[in-house]
Structure 1
């Protein structure tokens, strides 16, 4: 049972979703603190491109 959990954890890391989620949370928090709409728009675009690259690898 413990081995299965470890395997699923590795699969989640390999898909990169942990990295994307962490990046999204950090970006949202920093934009909330800075209250900078331009940075928020840029970050949203970068996040969207990153998500596309994971869905459709080049």
Structure 2
């Protein structure tokens, strides 16, 4: 999993809405989700899908 994952400006802006102390964890989880699904760019849609899956898993 050494592929570079890029983020759209919009998805990066949404990530910045997450509290700074959780942001690195969230970024890693979203990027891992993208890699597992053979995606190389995080868009708003990918961000929302990953966040939805994590919220279901941890709630």
Q: TM-score range by the shorter chain?
A: 0.3 to 0.5
TM-score for the superposition, normalised by structure 2: 0.34
User: Higher Cα Rg: structure 1 or 2?
Assistant: 1
TM-score of the aligned structures, taking structure 1 as reference length: 0.35
The structure whose residues are more often helix, as a share, is: 1
Q: Which has the higher contact order (CA 8 A, sep 6+)?
A: 2
> Which protein has the bigger strand share?
2
